[in-house]
Amino acid sequence: MDWQRVDGLIDRSPGIAALRSHRLHLLAASSWRARGIPLPPGLAAAERAAAVATMVSPLVLQQAREAYDGRIALFKGLAVARHYPAPTSRPFGDLDLLVDDAPRAQAALLAAGFEEIGEPELYRDIHHLRPLQAPGLPVPIELHHTVKWVGGAGASPPTHELLAGGVDGVTGIDGILVLAPADHVVCLAAHAWAHEPMLRAGDLLDVLLVAGSADRALILRRAQKWNIDGIVGATLRVADALYGCARTPLLLRALTRHLPELRERTVFESHVTRVAAPLFEHQGAAGIGEAVRALLAAVRPSDGEPWREKVGRVAEALARAGAPRREHEELLGDRAHVGDPVWKRVRERDAR
């Protein structure tokens, strides 16, 4: 890994807000501190918070291990952080644990004194249960019954298969595995893509660093087995281009124009991404068909939305096509979340 290229990317960023949004701010702090560059306000506090999370996490994992006797594998955040120059330079807000029986594990941790946190409506019918927190320890746990997967790509990898391939002796806690590197790369790429394809430079760095511990051919075979080889291959190519000397393939540039500048996607780029993403999620004609459906979905009203409101939203999007998407969504307010089932559930609860 050429960390000088990472430094160059950080130094070209438009500011600390952009670095935070791409999850590179702690790497920036480490780089600037080593080069004698003063840190912007608030960044030292973020470093301290990361140090506390890294220090406390083994205590939380040990308590989880003692409470639950089934199989446990750590993945994402802290498991990826060990691939960074220092674990504290990769931010994480919780501990993601894949377990063989999530409801039983949740009950065991509750019986051991953990407490549920967060809005219940946010965790209904998703890949993990409501987060848990040990009293006095600031790092929550999320117990996953499966990994977050890409809609339309078929079933996610069987949990028992991922756990069977897990690697022991890495976390420092006996009996807590980490996912095998090739499987971990596939799961990281799928998780990032499911949120939004090629959104954050930090997600691509995670994939590239973990991929350094695995054979690329094996990664792609595992991805092919689970029907996301197009997504994983595209993610690796863009990561190689962003952090190395490779060139981004022409079609992928439509999804990645914001990455070299570490800026937010514009309104126009976000819509292009939604239409282009199916070309990597599906093979051949199926991908084209899904892209056409995504285009039609973009111009049609959401369920229950009057045409007049949809036309108004389209007009506002066209008027702000070059604006950062977050700024556009703030101006739209609640109208930016039309069609979001989680947002709908929360609104229905608040209305009761």
The tens place of each residue's pLDDT in the chain, 352 residues long, gives 788 899 999 999 988 999 999 999 999 999 999 999 999 888 999 999 999 999 999 999 999 999 999 999 999 999 999 999 999 999 999 999 999 999 999 999 999 999 999 998 888 889 999 999 999 999 999 999 999 999 877 889 999 999 999 999 899 999 999 999 999 999 999 999 999 999 999 999 999 999 999 999 999 999 999 999 999 999 999 999 999 878 888 888 888 999 999 999 998 999 899 999 998 988 888 889 988 988 888 888 877 778 887 778 778 778 888 888 888 777 767 655 555 444 344 344 444 4
Using an 8 Å Cβ cutoff, are 63 and 112 in contact?
yes
What DSSP string runs through 148-211?
---TTS-SPPPHHHHHHT-B-SSSSSTTEEE--HHHHHHHHHHHHHHH-TT--HHHHHHHHHHH
The amino acid occupying position 159 is: T
Strand order across the beta sheet in which 115-116 lies: 115-116, 132-133, 141-144, 95-99, 72-75, 176-178
> Residue 139 has which token pair?
């790092």
In sequence order, what E strands does the chain have? 72-75, 95-99, 115-116, 132-133, 141-144, 176-178
Tokens 């056409």 belong to 292
Q: Strand, coil or helix: what is 141?
A: strand
Rounded Cα distance, 92 and 53, in Å: 8
CATH 3.30.460.40 domain extents, the chain:
3-265
What is the reported pLDDT for 337?
57
Rounded Cα distance, 335 and 66, in Å: 46
**pTM of structure:** 0.91
The CATH class, in words, for 3-265 is alpha beta
Q: Quick one: which of 219, 214, 215, 243 has its CA closest to 231?
A: 219
Rounded Cα distance, 138 and 128, in Å: 19
